[in-house]
Copies of this chain bind each other. A is one copy, B any other.
Amino acid sequence: MSEDFILSDFLPYRLAVLSERMSRRLSVEYGRTHGLSVAEWRVLVHLQRCGQVSIRDIHTCVNLEKPRVSRAVARLEDIGLVRKIPGETDKRLVSISLSREGQEALHGILPKARDFELQLKQSVTSDDFARFSAVLERLHEALDADPEAPPRPSIDRQAAPKDRI
């Protein structure tokens, strides 16, 4: 009976294993040196790129649940890496941005993150990596077409100077 199902050949599992391994290795960099969690790391990086944003914006851009973002931002504010000021026009919104300390923390971490990614990328040819990326995109598209699949996070666009909160 053709019942054999090999977990280690199963695509979702394989991706999960590699991803968890990679994330855990990366978290050593920002965790041990700065005591940051994955969520906090993502928030910082997003802010570095997008400037002044709302909780909602972070939520939709970095694939984190809203409460998780809220808590991560709260903690980052406690640590002093982030500023949180009430929205001007819309008082529901909160305007979040990097503090100088936050920028400095990122300066300390980003190079290591880059190095780590580079080390990974260098294990394959750039052509292979490009094809690899294309496959990732195709897999996303396959999920996009599946009504049961959760939505794909938005692209983290640099906010246009006038488009900021």
Which residue from B106, B121, B138 sits with its C-beta under 8 Å from A124? Answer: B138
Copies of this polypeptide in the complex:
2
A29-51 contacts to B (CB < 8 Å):
42, 45-46, 48-49
Q: Tell me, rounded to whole Å, the shortest Cβ–Cβ distance linking A58 to chain B.
A: 11
Residues of chain B contacted by A23 (CB below 8 angstroms): 12, 16
Given contacts A63-B16, A117-B11, A155-B8, contact A22 B135 (CB under 8 A): no
The stretch of A80-88, A89-97, A142-150 in contact with B is: A142-150
Given contact pairs A7-B45, A12-B22, A16-B23, a sample of 4 additional A-B residue pairs in the complex whose CB atoms are under 8 Å apart: A3-B106, A18-B19, A25-B148, A128-B134
Chain A contacts to B: CB under 8 angstroms: 3-8, 10-26, 28, 42, 45-46, 48-49, 61-63, 106-107, 110, 113-114, 116-117, 119-124, 128-129, 131-136, 138-143, 146, 148-150, 152-153, 155-156
